[in-house]
């Protein structure tokens, strides 16, 4: 099992860019569909 620090690093490196990308894709989708 990874330590809490390693898990936090994984969350920061994986989830934050993913959420940002989803926000960008959502904005593009709204722009295209509107």
The predicted-structure confidence for 6-31, as pLDDT tens digits, reads as follows: 988 988 898 888 999 999 999 999 99
Global pTM value: 0.54
C-alpha distances (whole Å) from 2 to each of 9, 13, 19 are: 10, 15, 23
Greater confidence, 1 or 8?
Answer: 8
User: Distance (Å, rounded) from C-alpha 19 to C-alpha 29?
Assistant: 15
Find the Cα–Cα–Cα–Cα dihedral 22, 27, 30, 33, rounded to 10°: -90
User: Distance (Å, rounded) from C-alpha 9 to C-alpha 12?
Assistant: 5
Helices (H), the chain: 4-33
Domain boundaries, the chain: 4-33
| Pair of tokens at residue 22 | 């989803």
pLDDT of residue 23: 93
pLDDT of residue 26: 95
């Amino acid at each position: 099992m990874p330590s809490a620090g390693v898990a936090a690093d994984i969350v920061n490196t994986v989830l934050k860019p993913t959420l940002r990308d989803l926000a960008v894709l959502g904005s593009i989708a709204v722009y295209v569909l509107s």
